[in-house]
Structure 1
Amino acid sequence: MDRIEELETALTIVSATADHIRVDDARRLTGPGLLWERPGAVIDVFVEDVDLDLIARLWDRHARSVLDALGWQKEKHIVRQFQGGVNLAISAPMDQLYSSIFVAQTAWHFCAAELLEQTPGDFNAMIADVKTVMAKEANPALIALITAAQGHGVDILCDDDEVSIGHGAGSQVWPVDALPTPEQVDWERLHDVPIAFVTGTNGKTTTTRICAAIVRAAGKTAGLTSTDFVRVGDDILDRGDYSGPGGARMLLRDPRLEVAILEVARGGILRRGLPTRRARVAVVTNVANDHLGQYGVNTVPDLAQAKFAVRRTLSEGGILALNADDAFVVAEADRANATIWWFSLDPNAPKITAARLGGHPCAYLLDGMLVFFDGKFEHPLTPVRDVPITMNGAARYNVSNALAAVCVGKAMGLEERDIRSGLANFKPDAKDNPGRCNEFSHNGARVFVDFAHNPHSIAAVCEAMSAIPAKRRFIMLSHAGDRSDQDIHDVTLTALEFKPDIVVAVEMENYLRGRELGEIPALIRQAAIDEGLTSDSVLFAGSPTEAARMILDQVQPNDLALLLVLSERDAVFELLEDRA
């Protein structure tokens, strides 16, 4: 049994239970997140007909009692109430995050006992057990390095295996069990690199890639993390969903890195938190209904709170770049303590007008130009027609993403010529922006591939595509089975804004998630027929690749096809390239 496994299984703390109370497994928080900026542990408690204020009062008393008994007088506790439950968290030293799980569970043990009127365990014995684990986990060398790094004004990143100080070209990495003393570290060669965080329901991957293109145009080695891969320069370090702290550490430890653009998704923020507090700029592209119901994030305003956790990563003087066209972003911004730069498609949007009157930087679309206002003067940067990702302005969501990238470039002090160059040379193809409105040609027809999967992103893509003239329109649709019947119906109606002549409803066996075979395509078919399509116009395919092949076999010159691909992406791309 290795050390981590030994720590994870060191204690089993049993708490009182009831049918109307459900407690999820506690999880470690390694950095800033939804609740606060501290590392520690959190427990999610879901209840029915229980006074949430009572739970908060019990947590306040018992968490404080447990922390004090362990000698953690400087550590804090917090409660967040949501519809149907609470998040209960405690903070902890960075060398005690596994122990913090047991600390939180111990505090909940006493809360649950009092809440359910049951006899708790022996307080002193349970505290002694936790102290035993704390002693095993303690790493004084790590704490000494953290303190020294803070004193030298340089970032330190920790995980179960490695510790690194500085970023990229200014970093050094050590095994966690072979750490140097602060006196052995060559502090002169260690430094941070500029970091941008990008989050939002949609657009974050594209914005991240545009920002990396701008950095590259400035002659610097850009690195990015995303839901698709981790990349430094032209080298992909690994493929997969790396929108959490693990991907960020992988990137920030690469010695070639000079500027980092980190895409961060809801899951990473909520599960573990964000990896650093040294960002120069953070972006929230938008907030929309997607993946609700986890970790106490049940509503779109809740999701906005989670996305705005990126504000806690900003270093002194850091910039929070926000979409002034998104109502949920605007509402949450009122609670954000940060220097905000707004961006908008409307030069007369209220937040843009207020920013200009107040002498605050902002970015907007004006008479077909991307414009940056520096607080005093307007700087027309480039015509929208010269930004390929916008499809001559038809893809308005990508105009917004480009404006967000302008704010990032400006916040990082990059030259306007480099911002223009990065925007001009970033193409909507499978090389620069795979899976985001990539265009192919087949038999005289235009074929677009996009990975849009939620109502917000599908609506944006279909709006852009509906502006393109075509003889006939084909669309490929599929949905994951964990969406409700109503969600599948509504998303299908959103996709029909593309005004298709032919709909291909696709089965995805790997995404059934409890559904029966044929159930999801049947829901798509019924929604399309309800909206006026004939039964002959709604076809069935057993897989995305089969659906793509069916459409390619039918398209003729001047037709337009939109393939919304959720799975078998590589196979669909390969098919399109073979048919091009």
Structure 2
Amino acid sequence: MDRIEELETALTIECATADHIQVDDARRLTGPGLLWDHPGAVMDVFFTDIDPTQVIALWEKHARCVLDALGWQDQALTHRTFTGGVNLAISAPMDQLYSAIFAAQTAWHFCAAELLEATPGDFDQMIRDVKGVMAKEANPALISLIAAAEAHGVDILCDDDEISIGHGTGSQIWPVNALPAPDNVDWPSLHNISVAFITGTNGKTTTTRLLEAIARASGKVAGLTSTEFVRVGDDILDRGDYSGPGGGRMLLRDKRLEIGCLEVARGGILRRGLPTRAAMAATVTNVANDHLGQYGVNTVPELAQAKFAVHRTLTKGGVLALNADDPFVRAEAENTAANIWWFSLDPGNDLIRRARDAGTCCAYVSQGNIVFFDGRSEQAVIAVSDVPLTMGGVAKYNILNALAAMCLALALKLPLEAVRQGLAGFKPDAKDNPGRCNEFRYNGAQVFVDFAHNPHSISAVCDALSALPAKRRFIMLSHAGDRSDQDIRDVTATALNFQPDVVVAAELEGYLRGRSMGEIPDLIEKSALEQGYNKTQIQRAASPSEAAAMILKQVEPGDLALLLVLSERDAVLEMLDQ
């Protein structure tokens, strides 16, 4: 058994239970997140027929007793209420995060006992047990390094295996069990680099890629994390969903890196937190209904709270670039004191007008140009029509992504000419922006491949493509099984705004997630029929690649096809490349 497994399984803390109370496994918080910017542990408690204030009062009493008994008088506790439950958290030293889980569970043990009138365990013995884990987990060398890094004004990144100080070209890595004394660290060689966080419901991958393209155009070695891979320059370090803190550490530890563009998704923020507190810029592209119902994030405003965790990563003077056209972003912005640069499609947007009047940087579209206001004067940076990603201006969601990327780039002190070059040179193809409205010509028809999968993103793509002329329109639809029936009906109705002549409903065998084969295509077909389509317009396919092949056999010159591809994307792209 390795050290981490030994720590994870060191204690089993039983708690009083009841049908109306459910408790998720406690988890470590390693960086800034939804609740706060401290490391520690959090547990999610769900209940019915209980007053949340009663649970919170018990937590504040028992968690404080546990922290004090463990010698963690300097550590804090917090909570967050949501419909049907609470998040309960404690902070802890960075070398005691597994122990923090047991400390949180111990505190909940006494909360549950009092709540359910059960007999609690022996407090002193339970504290001794947790202290035993603390002794095994303790790493005084790490605590010394963290203090020294803070004193030298340089970032430190920690995980179970390695510790690194600085970023990219200014970084050095050590095994967690072989850390140097602070006096033996070559501090002058270590430094932070320019880092930006990109989050939002939609557009975050494209914005991340755009920012990286701008950074490359400036002559810097740039890298990115995303839901698809981690890349430095042209070198892909690994493929997979790296939108969490692990991907961020992998990127920021690469010694070639000069600028880091980090896509961060809701899951990583909520599970572990963000990987650094040393970002110069961050953006929230938008917030819409997607992946609700986890970790106590049940509503779109609560999702906005989670996305806005990126503001906790900003250094002094760091910039938070925000979409002034998004109502949920606007509302949540009221709760942050960050240095905000607003961007909008409308120069008359009230927040843009206020920013200009206050002499604050902002960005917008005016007279067909992407414009940046630097606090004193405005400059037309590039014509919208010269940004290929905007499809001549019809893809308004990509104009917003371009505005966000420009704000981030300028906040990172990249030159305006690099912004122009990056935006002008970035193509909506499978090389620069794979899976995002990639355009192909096939048998004289226009064929677009997009990864859009929620109502917000599908609506944006369909609105853009609806502006293009076509003799006939084809659409391929599929959905993951973990969405509700209503979600699938809503997404289907949204997609039908594209006004397709032919709908092909594809099975997603690898994404059934508890549903049976045929169930999702049935829902798509039923939704289309309810929207006024007839059965002759609806076709079925056993897979996305089969659906794509069916459409490609039917298209003729002047037709337009939209393939919403959730899986088998490489196979579909290969068909089109041929």
Query: Would you say same fold, with TM above 0.5?
Result: yes
Q: CA deviation at 1:527?
A: 1.1
Tell me, what secondary structure is at the counterpart of 2:393? Answer: coil
CA distance in 1, matches of 2:141, 2:323: 43
Q: Which has the higher mean CA deviation after the structures are superposed, 258-267 or 513-522?
A: 513-522
Q: Does 1:407 align with 2:414?
A: no
Listed as ranges, the matches of 1:527-538 within 5 Å are 527-538=527-538
Opposite residue 103 of structure 2, the aligned amino acid is V
Could you tell me how far 1:514 is from its partner in structure 2?
Answer: 1.4
Query: What secondary structure, in the 3-state scheme, does the structure 2 residue paired with 1:95 have?
Result: coil
**Residue range with higher mean Cα deviation, 480-489 or 141-150:** 480-489
- Corresponding residue number in structure 2 for 1:236: 236
Task: Give the corresponding residue for 2:147.
Answer: 147
Q: Quote the Cα distance in structure 2 between the aligned partners of 1:574 and 1:115.
A: 59
Which contiguous aligned blocks of 4+ residues in structure 1 show a shift greater than 3 angstroms?
none
- List gaps (5 residues or longer) in structure 2: none
Per the alignment, residue 333 of structure 2 pairs with 333
Does residue 8 (structure 1) correspond to residue 8 (structure 2)? The answer is yes
The alpha carbon displacement at 1:517 in A equals 1.1
Percentage of matched positions with identical amino acids: 72
Q: Deviations over 1:411-459 (max 9, x none)?
A: 0111111100000000000000000000111100010000000000000
Supply the distance in 2 between the matched residues of 1:274 and 1:413 (Cα, whole angstroms): 23
| Whole-Å separation in 2 of the counterparts to 1:538 and 1:261 | 42
Equivalent residues in 2 for 1:70-89, closer than 5 Å: 70-89=70-89
SS in 2 for 1:392: helix
Question: Aligned partners of 1:168, 1:414: CA distance in 2, in Å?
Answer: 17
Paired amino acid for 2:127: I
In structure 2, the residue matched to 1:433 is: 433
| Residues in 1 aligned to 2:230 and 2:484: alpha-carbon distance in whole angstroms | 33
Structure 1 stretches of 5 or more lacking a match?
Answer: none
Give the partner amino acid of 1:277: R
| 2:500 alignment partner in structure 1 | 500
Shift of residue 350 of structure 1?
1.0
RMSD: 0.5
Paired AA for residue 436 in structure 2 = R
How far, CA to CA, are the matches of 1:103 and 1:570 in structure 2?
Answer: 46
Give, in whole Å, the separation in 2 of the partners of 1:250 and 1:116.
45
Amino acid at match of 2:395: A
TM superposition shift of 1:483: 1.2
Q: Could you tell me which amino acid in structure 2 is paired with residue 396 of structure 1?
A: K
After TM superposition, the score normalised by the length of structure 2 is 1.00
Deviation at 1:516, TM superposition (A): 1.5
Q: Give the SS at the match of 2:500.
A: coil
Query: Do structure 1's residue 64 and structure 2's residue 77 form an aligned pair?
Result: no
Q: Which amino acid counterpart does residue 481 of structure 1 have in structure 2? A: G
**Paired residues for 1:385-396 under 5 Å:** 385-396=385-396
Q: How far is the alpha carbon of 1:153 from its aligned partner?
A: 0.3
Query: Aligned-pair distance for 1:489?
Result: 0.9
Question: How far apart in 1 are the matches of 2:460 and 2:47?
Answer: 37
1:119 corresponds to 2:115 = no
- Equivalences for residues 98-117 of structure 1 within 5 A: 98-117=98-117
TM-score between the two structures when normalised by the length of structure 1: 0.99
Q: CA deviation at 1:86?
A: 0.2
Tell me, in whole angstroms, the C-alpha distance in 2 between the residues paired with 1:325 and 1:370.
15
Is 1:212 equivalent to 2:212 in the alignment? yes
Q: Deviations over 1:288-337 (max 9, x none)?
A: 00000000000000000000000000001101100000000000000012
Structure 2 distance, partners of 1:157, 1:260, is 14
Structure 2 matches for 1:459-474, cutoff 5 A?
459-474=459-474
Q: Distance in 2 between matches of 1:95 and 1:479?
A: 42
Indicate yes or no: 2:72 matched with 1:43: no
1:572 Cα deviation (Å)?
1.0
Counterpart CA distance in 1 for 2:387 and 2:468 is 17
1:224-278 per-residue CA deviation (whole Å, 9 max, x = no partner) reads: 0000100000111011100000000000000100000000000000000001000
Asked if 1:191 is matched to 2:198, the reply is no
d(CA) in 1 for partners of 2:393 and 2:533?
Answer: 30
Q: Tell me, yes or no, if structure 1 residue 54 matches structure 2 residue 57.
A: no
Q: Distance in 2 between matches of 1:5 and 1:485?
A: 40
1:369 positional shift: 0.3
Instruction: Give secondary structure in 2 for the equivalent of 1:391.
Output: helix
d(CA) in 1 for partners of 2:516, 2:156: 49
Which residue number corresponds to residue 485 of structure 2?
485
Cα distance in 2 for partners of 1:514, 1:174 equals 43
Partners of 1:141 and 1:484 lie apart in 2 by 49
